[in-house]
Amino acid sequence: MRDQPGSSVTETKGSPRSRKLVVMDWIESRTGFVSFSRKNLDEPMPPGVGWWQTLGNLLMTLLIFQFVTGVALAMFYAPTPDHAHQSVAYIMDGVTMGAFIRGLHHWGSSFIVLVATLHMLRTFFWGSYKKPREMTWVIGVLIFQVILGFSFTGYLLPWDQKAYWASVVGTRIIATIPYVGEHLMVLVRGGKEVGALTLTRFYGVHVMLLPAALIVLTGIHLYLVRKHHISGPVTPRKGRPAPFFPVQLLRDAVVVLVASGLLLMLAVAFRPELGGVADPSGVTFTPRPEWYFLGLYEFLKLMPPSLEVVGTLIVPSMVTIGMLLLPWLDRVESRHPAKRGWIIDLALFMILGIGVLTLKGVLSEPPPPPKAPEAEAVLAPAPTPPSRP
């Protein structure tokens, strides 16, 4: 950015360039936007920063896509059991480019989980959570929970069989929490069963609570990234930091363009599914969660009924708390993975475990439909009609 606000005096009065500078001067004096942009474009990148550091901005771009397509879908969607499925069917077949927009939103959610996971792994292996970036990491872990919350609440909205029964199973997990579980589940569902109030609640959380949380958390995250600047490679390299513009910005643009192209292709080539309308009285439907919850789903299936709470509550809570406390659990000063001992070993073990379980879930045939007596178990839905407000 070469144009300096205030430099208009050197230009011929009335020329297009001088008019542009006058406009920029005006914007700068009223908003400070020009110096704000320049500061961000000049952000110093330590030597060794490269393609791995493009994932944060890719994530932000995907979240913006998701927000735009979500607002477009909300223009046609009706969050009631009588109309939800019908309105999604109308989006798919009656609205111009409706199937494409829904496709972008559907595939976009998988992209976001994938890119958020890669961004988290990159910052983990680079030890970027260490002093002074502890809070950048903690806010990132919270953002990850919010992203999973979006996926969980969004899954129910089409109100087809898959959506309904997966949400019955997902919310039933809450009931396994000792003492307060049943009450919590009723609170989340808005009644004893998944019904009209569950749909309203999930919709409210999906379009209001989670977006608000995400905007606030992302704002804090980006502020902290700028405050502490980005960390360089684990072993510092010789050389002077380079500004973000033009090299790193170009890398970001390439990655964003490639990912957007892929997303567009998926949205055009594969119409997102819409199964039969939710039938709360049928127990013949076997639910399967989205691919990113399959690891947990398979893990729950391994647990004997007496230890079910280990899979539903104890292990997931320990993993989340461990991730939040990671900057303080890892006492080693070095950021190099080879010097970080048990933290790296544990992470590799978990990544392998989650990977194998997810693969097992993807490859396994859906289990046979549950019989009536099994239907009360956590992994099988109860054959009860939905509640009405």
What is the binding site for ligand HEM (CB under 6 A)?
53, 55-57, 59-60, 63, 116, 119-120, 123, 126, 128-129, 133, 136-137, 140-141, 143-144, 218, 221, 225, 230-231
The crossing angle, in degrees rounded to 10, of helices 315-329 and 341-363 is 150
CB of 112 to ligand HEM, least distance (A): 8
Residue among 91, 72, 81, 90 nearest 200 (CA): 81
Residues pairing with 277 in the sheet: 160
CB of 266 to ligand HEM, least distance (A): 21
Structure tokens at 230: 């980005």
Q: Which residue, 57 or 171, has its beta carbon nearer to ligand HEM?
A: 57
- Report the b/e string of 360-387 with b at 16+ CB within 10 A: bbeeeeeeeebeeeeeeebbbbbbeebb
Number of residues written out for the chain: 389
CB of 134 to ligand HEM, least distance (A): 9
Q: Which residue, 109 or 198, has its beta carbon nearer to ligand HEM?
A: 109
d(CA 108, CA 255): 15
d(CA 356, CA 298): 10
Q: Which residue, 27 or 332, has its beta carbon nearer to ligand HEM?
A: 332
Q: Which residue, 45 or 294, has its beta carbon nearer to ligand HEM?
A: 45
CB of 59 to ligand HEM, least distance (A): 4
CB of 351 to ligand HEM, least distance (A): 14
- What stretch of H or E contains 97? none
d(CA 364, CA 286): 13
Contact predicate 183/270, CB 8 Å: no
Q: Which residue, 217 or 303, has its beta carbon nearer to ligand HEM?
A: 217
CB of 371 to ligand HEM, least distance (A): 41
Q: Which residue, 55 or 72, has its beta carbon nearer to ligand HEM?
A: 55
- What stretch of H or E contains 242? strand 242-243
Q: Which residue, 59 or 84, has its beta carbon nearer to ligand HEM?
A: 59
d(CA 92, CA 87): 9
Peptide bond into 132 cis (omega under 30): yes
Q: Which residue, 66 or 171, has its beta carbon nearer to ligand HEM?
A: 66
Structure tokens at 123: 């910052």
CB of 142 to ligand HEM, least distance (A): 8
The crossing angle, in degrees rounded to 10, of helices 181-189 and 196-204 is 80
CB of 255 to ligand HEM, least distance (A): 10
